[in-house]
Chains A and B, each alone.
Chain A
Amino acid sequence: MNKLIKSIAMGIAGVAMTATAALAADYPERPIGVAVSYGAGGATDFQARIVTMVAGNEDILGQPMYIVNKPGAGGRVGWNWFATEADADGYTLSAYNIPHFVAQSIKGGVQYSKDSFEPIANWGADPAVVVVGKDSKFNTIQELVDFAKANPGKATLSGAGLFVGHHIAALQIEKATEAKFAYIPTKGGGAAAMKAVIAGDVVGGINNLSDAFRAREAGNVKILAVADLQRNEEFLPDVPTLMEAGYDVDNASVNFRGLMVKKGTPQEVIDKLAAKVPEMFANARVVKRMKAGGSPMKIMSRAEVQAMWEKRQETLTELLAGL
């Protein structure tokens, strides 16, 4: 009996090993899943659906990608699942959000860190912007900062949660201006944070550039500043960066989105994905749809993303050290 079990086990192990070897050469042989740590309809989900829509083209991967939503706890649920339960075989990818998962791993309580994952490529960069309601008395970022300095803790700023890009931007602004704001994390993501600004529940808010652009087009908000290194020439050429306004805030809060695999995925698979995925992002149909949706794109190669992750790890460790 024992012998039988042993030989079955050996047989299974053997099959599994051949499968791994075959996998790298013929990858991909079946559709590829992409886990998104946010709910259906959110910005990450909706962009992931667009940028993966041409994966099935013969000249890209020849196999379609499908989205699996694993939302919860600001993304922690999805990335915990990916780091602990997903197979490292290249058939389960995940979308990443920087600085979210790096900041969360620095604060602890999760089962992943930067080293649990291998980046493939970056598709988008959505900077954080400072918004106020359309009837707000503030017209420039200086006026808002002056108000906060005169009234410490009274200037409420809504944002999508703790340790997400919006929160990082708020922390950086506080540090650079030496004014005391009251950051209000809202449940329900950027949309809820934006509602708080439009309804006048808060003095101002930090939000995604893409959503703020749409809210401004609809005539609901004013955008005071962008937390990035350069102005956004495509959507908001008239809005200054915080740097231009004289506050030392860099692009650490910019929400980078891209695809990654789990550590331990065969190198051949990573190489193939790293070569093909940026092509997929650059596909004309993808670019057209992303532009129509007001989603700023920034395609970065695997090497560039690795360097960016390193840099974020450093900046965020320093910024969050005092919290």
Chain B
Amino acid sequence: MEFLSYFGGVFEPISFLLLLGGTIGGLILGATPGLSPTMAVALLIPFTFHLQPAQGLILLGAAYTSTVAGGAVSAILLKIPGAPANIATSLDGNAMAKKGEGARALHLSFLASGVGGVIGVLLLIFLTPVLAQWALAFSYSHLFWMAILGVTVIGSLDSKSFVKGLLSGCIGLWLSMIGFDDNLGAQRFIFTDALAGGIHIIPALIGLFAIPQVMEMFAKGRANAAIEALEVPKQSFMDSLRELTRNIRALSIGTVFGSIIGIIPGVGGQIAGLVAYDQARKFSPEKEKFGTGHPEGIIAAESANNAMVGPSLVPLLTLSIPGSPTAAVLLGGLIIHGIFPGSDLFDNHPQVAWTFINSMLIGQILMVIFGIYTATWAARIARAPVPIMAAAVMVLALFGSYSVQQSMGDVYIMLSLGVGMFFLEKFGFSAAPLVLGLILGPIAESNFTTGSLIAQAQDGPLLYFMTGPLNMFLIFLVIASVAYSFWSNMVLGKKSVPAEAQS
């Protein structure tokens, strides 16, 4: 309960103003396509030079939590996930917004984020020493199986057909191979300099999600019927809260999976939302509603990606190992003030450590308040006429993909992927499994190569990858997941045929 005595630090005037500023600024940055949480935190580091260490960290922590949640805004309203964490949110969130219920989607997403986020930070406060050991337990073989577990989700994610989902995933895996291979430096599929660094995930996300949509809008923009605007009904806060409590199952699945995955270094945030989304669907009695604007989908995805924030800092704060790119940037922010994470942080600078952690707790709550407050207003975007909307999304897409690395190469990659995806969608393929392949490919590959190298020095790859309780457990999960997909594909596939015939 040591953390309680440091709550005062959060409410000092300057600290609280920074917290407020960081939260609101983070929401805006997060809602801007192309500005990922990592970049938002990196942009803020120079500002912390002039602040006290604790104050600087408050700013960074607030920005981290709120950019993750802010990414949901563009995912829901524009179907451009601000960061990989928000991919799953866009699946149901955007469908709901298209029905004119953008405010409802935003309310649910902020509330779920808040609940997940607070629980995540509480885990960080109470279970840090236990979780630190857990983070270290994951070695290369385990991370490899984790990535494979993610791959098994691909087939069933947001696709009408299992086979087409798998094929999209394969395209994603292939795209992820482009560039210099990090372990051995070999060049693969590099035809132009723009591809030498591989395909950066943010421009890929923007291209795959935003561009097909823009093309679709332009295609029907000629027809006058499409120019009519949607009505945006008012959404009351109490209704949203009640809806959240009705979906406790999705909320708990999201929070549990988000926190567990968040701890694992190197996998964390990118897939937490997608895995939780997939699990929530598997456990839901209304599977077929997912992807059509189902509240459970939004709640599971958003609670997961904010629940991951707290635990993802465990390896950083205890062992000085950054578990995610954002944590690496935060590490820089700490070191610049001469504070080394690890036992030093909690022993010698407890006021810094606890003020930081407490500020994330308060930050989550502030984020919910501001998110809800602006939701009704933000949801009016849906009333914009289609041609204007298309132009605006296009501008944001170009700006977002350029700003990641100030590179026109990324813009060309974004446009090519987007145009390709437009045609793939015509044939029933979808972007979400493709992106998941793109994310998981490098994780699976690099852990497999590194693991194999270590295995050669030990007892050989077979023993290294296949033995040990954690490996066995993960392999079991992989088999179970594949078996479930086959089973549900067979059973549901048979069921859905007569249903279609009737209609």
Q: Does B38 contact A (CB under 8 A)?
A: yes
Q: Produce 1/0 per residue, A75-112, CB < 8 A to B.
A: 01100110011000000000000000000100101010
Does A275 sit within 8 A of B, measured CB to CB? no
Indicate if A182 sits at the interface (CB-CB under 8 A): yes
**B residues whose Cβ falls under 8 Å from a Cβ of A:** 38-39, 42, 45-46, 49, 136-137, 139-140, 179-180, 182-185, 187, 193, 196-198, 265-266, 315, 319-322, 325, 328-332, 335-338, 340-344, 405-407, 442, 446-447, 450, 453-454, 456-458
Interface pair A162/B179, CB less than 8 Å apart:
no
Interface residues of A in 193-208 (CB under 8 A from B): 194-195, 198-199, 201-202
- Residues facing B in A28-56 (CB within 8 A) are 39-42, 45-46, 49-50, 53
Chain A residues with CB under 8 Å of B136's CB are 195, 198-199
- The reply to whether B180 and A72 form a contact with Cβ atoms under 8 Å apart is yes
| The residue from B185, B193, B335, B337 contacting A81, defined by CB atoms under 8 A apart | B193
* A residues less than 8 Å from B180 (CB atoms): 72-74, 76-77, 109
Cβ–Cβ contact B319 & A217, under 8 A: no
CB atoms of A218 and B198 under 8 A apart: no
Contact of B38 among A40, A46, A53, A111 (CB under 8 A): A40
A109 to B181, CA, bound (A): 12
Residues on A close to B: CB < 8 A? 39-42, 45-46, 49-50, 53, 68-74, 76-77, 80-81, 84-85, 104, 107, 109, 111, 153-156, 161-163, 182, 184-188, 191-192, 194-195, 198-199, 201-202, 214-215, 217-220, 289, 292-294
Q: Which residues of B contact A194 (CB under 8 A)?
A: 321
Q: How far does the Cβ of A297 sit from chain B's closest Cβ, in whole Å?
A: 15
The smallest C-beta distance from A242 to any residue of chain B, in angstroms, reads 22
Minimum CB–CB distance from A190 to chain B (whole Å) comes to: 10
Report B190 CB to chain A, min CB distance, Å: 9
* A162 x B185 contact (CB < 8 A): yes
Q: Nearest chain A CB to B334's CB is how many angstroms away?
A: 9
Given A182-B456, A214-B342, also A187-B197 (CB < 8 A): no
**How close is B451's CB to chain A, nearest CB, in angstroms?**
9
From known contacts A49-B45, A77-B196, infer whether A41 and B182 are also in contact, taking CB-CB under 8 Å.
no
- In Å, the complex CA distance between A199 and B196 comes to 32
Residues of B within 8 A of A74 (CB): 180, 182, 185
Query: Once bound together, how far apart are the Cα atoms of A186 and B321, in whole Å?
Result: 14
Q: Given A73-B182, A182-B457, A218-B341 in contact, is the A41-B332 Cβ separation under 8 Å? A: yes
State how many angstroms separate the Cβ of B381 from the closest Cβ of chain A: 30
Q: Which residue of A lies closest to B404 (CB)?
A: A69
Q: Given known contacts A184-B454, A217-B342, is B335 in contact with A195 (CB within 8 Å)? A: no
Q: Is A39 a contact partner of B182 (Cβ separation < 8 A)? A: no
Report A-chain residues with C-beta under 8 Å of the C-beta of B46: 49, 53
- 23 A-B pairs in the complex with CB atoms less than 8 angstroms apart: A40-B42, A40-B328, A40-B332, A41-B42, A41-B328, A49-B45, A73-B198, A76-B196, A80-B193, A109-B185, A156-B453, A182-B453, A184-B450, A185-B182, A187-B183, A191-B321, A191-B328, A192-B266, A198-B319, A202-B454, A218-B319, A220-B319, A292-B335
What separation, in Å, do the CA atoms of A283 and B46 have in the docked complex?
A: 17
Question: Does A73 contact B336, Cβ atoms closer than 8 Å?
Answer: no
Query: How far is A153 from B460 in the complex, measured between Cα atoms in Å?
Result: 12
Determine the distance from Cα of A84 to Cα of B321 in the docked complex, in whole angstroms.
35
Q: Does B325 contact A41, Cβ atoms closer than 8 Å?
A: yes
Contact partner, B335, options A46, A109, A187, Cβ 8 Å: A46
Kindly state the separation between the CA atoms of A21 and B499 in the bound complex, as whole angstroms: 77
State whether A46 and B332 are in contact (beta carbons under 8 Å apart), knowing that A73-B198, A192-B266 are contacts in the complex: yes
Residues of B within 8 A of A201 (CB): 139-140, 454
Instruction: Choose from A46, A80, A155 the contact partner of B196 (Cβ within 8 Å).
Output: A80
A184 to chain B: which residues have CB within 8 Å? 450, 453-454, 457
Asked whether A199 lies within 8 Å of B343 as measured between CB atoms, the reply is no
**What 8 pairs between A and B have smallest CB-CB spacing?**
A218-B342, A72-B197, A73-B180, A292-B338, A77-B197, A41-B329, A41-B328, A40-B42
**Residues of the A chain whose Cβ atoms lie less than 8 Å from the Cβ of B49:** 53, 289
Q: How far is the CA of A50 from the CA of B335 in the complex (A)?
A: 11
Q: Which residues of B contact A40 (CB under 8 A)?
A: 38-39, 42, 325, 328-329, 332
B193 touches A41 (CB 8 A): no
Q: Given the complex of chains A and B, what is the CA–CA distance between A77 and B46 in angstroms?
A: 25
Contact, CB under 8 Å: B183 / A162: yes
> Would A153 and B185 count as touching, CB distance under 8 A?
no
- Since A199-B136, A293-B338 are in contact, a sample of 12 more A-B pairs with Cβ atoms closer than 8 Å, ordered by chain A residue number, is A40-B38, A41-B325, A41-B329, A42-B328, A46-B336, A72-B180, A73-B180, A76-B180, A76-B185, A185-B453, A191-B321, A217-B344
- A161 close to B454 (CB less than 8 A): no
Which of A76, A199, A292 is within 8 Å of B336, CB to CB? A292
B338 x A220 contact (CB < 8 A):
no
Contact status A187-B446, CB under 8 Å: yes
Cα-based distance from A186 to B183 in the complex (angstroms): 7
Interface centre among A80, A111, A218, by most chain B C-beta atoms within 10 angstroms, is A218
User: What is the CB-to-nearest-CB distance from A119 to chain B, in angstroms, rounded to a whole number?
Assistant: 24
Give the one of B322, B328, B457 with max A CB within 10 A.
B457
Closest beta carbon of chain A to B181's beta carbon, Å = 8
Q: In the complex the two chains form, is B196's CB within 8 Å of A73's CB?
A: yes
Contact residues in B for A71 (Cβ distance below 8 Å): 197, 405
Known: A184-B450, A185-B183, A201-B454. A218 touches B340 (CB 8 A): yes
For the complex formed, measure the closest distance between the CB of B329 and the CB atoms of chain A, giving whole angstroms: 4
A185 and B450 within 8 A (CB): yes
CB of B184 within 8 A of CB of A162, answer yes
Distance (whole angstroms) from the CB of A205 to the closest CB of chain B: 12
Q: Please give the distance in Å from A104's CB to the nearest CB on chain B.
A: 8
Query: Are B139 and A294 closer than 8 Å at their CB atoms?
Result: no
* CA of A134 to CA of B344, assembled, Å: 16
A261 to B263, CA, bound (A): 41
In the complex, the answer to whether B336 meets A289 with C-beta atoms within 8 Å is yes
Q: Is the CB of A73 within 8 A of B266?
A: no
User: B342 to chain A: which residues have CB within 8 Å?
Assistant: 214-215, 217-220
